[in-house]
Amino acid sequence: MLLMTLKPWLAISILFSFFLSNVIGAFVGINIGTDVSNSPPASDVVALLKARQITHVRLFNADAHMLKALANTSIEVIISVTNNEVLGIGESPSAAADWVNRNVAAYMPGVNITAIAVGSEVLTAIPNVAPVLVPAMNYLHKALVASQLNHQVKVSAPQSMDVIAKSFPPSTATFNSSWNSTIFQILQFLRNTNSYYMLNAYPYYEYVHSDGIFPIEYALFQPLSAVKQIVDPNTLFHYESMFDALVDATYNSIEALNFSDIPVVVTETGWPWAGDSKEPDATKENAETFNNNLIRRVSNDTGPPSQPKNPINTFIYEMFNEDKRPGPISERSWGIFSTNGSEVYPISLGSPGGISGNSSRAFCVAKPGADENKLQDGINWACGQGHANCSAIQSGQPCYFPDTLQNHASYAYNDYYQRMRSLGGTCDFDGTATMTTQDPSSRTCKFTGSSSPGGGVFPPAAFGPIGQISRSSTTRSPVFVRTVVVLLALLMLDVNVHFVF
């Protein structure tokens, strides 16, 4: 029996983790890279995350500006030890402790940090550092234990599909034997710390490298004809997508090393929307199809054929194009948003932020394609002489994104019109405005006159990867609920709480 005395704020975090992790389904998060020219201010990036109801992000480093901006948002955050940092941390427990103190403890509990990703595909990207990867993970975990943060913050290390010798058929997949010793140690660490396997899985690359063996529909989650069905000959499992097959290949590789209780989280996947002449499948149409179908697939809360009860929590690569990356055009064309907050292509991630068409009210909005100089003049007049309240379209506010003249003009025009129409105000603005019955509001940006709730309400974040949870487990007994209420009352009074396990 273990008796623990926890700080009140930490006890609250653990209590809510336990309570919410059983009622929240699979999530789709997003990666935020570092090789971006003219990256928006961190406050604007977080405003976009909130506007689109994105509740999970993975940072490719531990950027102080982003972490400060993420404070008090409830957004779950995976922060990363960069590949350049792995060696130093793997050779020095004190370096690991310093890293945790500076990049984790210093920001909690305000920032909802839930995991540390140690490096990026270290085994295949920088194999000479592989011998210290597991020591680095261990040292970081021990530093979290010393700070009483290990219950909330997990440690893992993202790996590419290249560590698996042959991914199809999934039932026979195994890790590359040259990495067996290191991967065994990683899996042992993950099991001992109740963490999860971080997988970077890209059907785009698997499809391109298959030289036509697999149809593109299989890579894009599209229906397969009877003659194109993909079946594992050993299990007779039907695979409707390459994504599912890659996740199952990973589960089977883990099982081949006699581990069966480690969940898989896909920390990177996606599809490039542009490429050069040798990359004909890197198109906006394919990227839109892949990512929207991915979101639908993950959202159904089921796992791959061999693990149907394990939802596939997933992070899309990536938020903005990392335009400073070397290589072919496709390497710089994975972003789903432009740096002004507009979509590169339509995507259903989070809240759509667009028009909802069930309103009987009338709104004054900017005409599509209107002259930009006239739009700017219209904004200036509406927000000035017109006395429209334009605070919501300022940087960092709910209606700032998309950061376009069209969006800002629509908000300003409508606010003016709704305030002044009873006094003779019109919807014209030198021919750049038009009336519509479609409500332009999103969940976080409420236009004046809207009957929708608006106002920045978004669903609570899931606390950590979701394991094997049955639907029946989401119902709590009255005794449990009363216990939660009592504990919260004690914690709010700053009473030390003792947990007995």
Q: What does the DSSP 8-state code read for residue 216?
A: H
Q: How far is CA 186 from CA 74, 134, 195, 196, 218, in A?
A: 29, 6, 10, 10, 31
List the structure tokens of 302.
């089921």
- Is 206 designated active site? no
Please check whether residue 200 is in contact with residue 194, taking contact to mean a CB–CB distance below 8 angstroms: no
Q: Write down the catalytic residue from 76, 85, 121, 288.
A: 121
Amino acid symbol at 411 = Y
Q: What does the DSSP 8-state code read for residue 103?
A: I
Please check whether residue 149 is in contact with residue 187, taking contact to mean a CB–CB distance below 8 angstroms: no
Nearest to 252 by CA among 235, 240, 269: 235
Q: How far is CA 80 from CA 59, 202, 384, 442, in A?
A: 6, 20, 45, 32
Distance in angstroms (rounded) separating the CA atoms of residues 194 and 182:
18
- Is 322 designated active site? no
Return phi, psi of residue 500, to 5°: -115, 125
Return phi, psi of residue 330, to 5°: -60, -30
Number of residues in the chain: 501
What SS3 string covers 118-185?
A: ECCCHHHHCHHHHHHHHHHHHHHHHHHHHCCCCCCCEEECCEEHHHECCCCCHHHCCECHHHHHHHHH
Angle in degrees, CA 135, 141, 147, rounded to 5: 140
Strand partners, 81: 118
List the structure tokens of 375.
């739009």
Please check whether residue 284 is in contact with residue 345, taking contact to mean a CB–CB distance below 8 angstroms: yes
Q: Write down the catalytic residue from 76, 85, 206, 268.
A: 268
End-to-end CA distance of the chain: 6
Distance in angstroms (rounded) separating the CA atoms of residues 316 and 443:
22
Burial of 357 (0-12, 13-18, 19+ CB in 10 A): exposed
Distance in angstroms (rounded) separating the CA atoms of residues 116 and 64:
15
Distance in angstroms (rounded) separating the CA atoms of residues 237 and 172:
13
Contacts of 226 (CB under 8 A, 6+ apart): none
H or E stretch covering 455: none
Strands 56-59 and 28-32: parallel
SS3 339: coil
Residues classed as catalytic: 121, 268
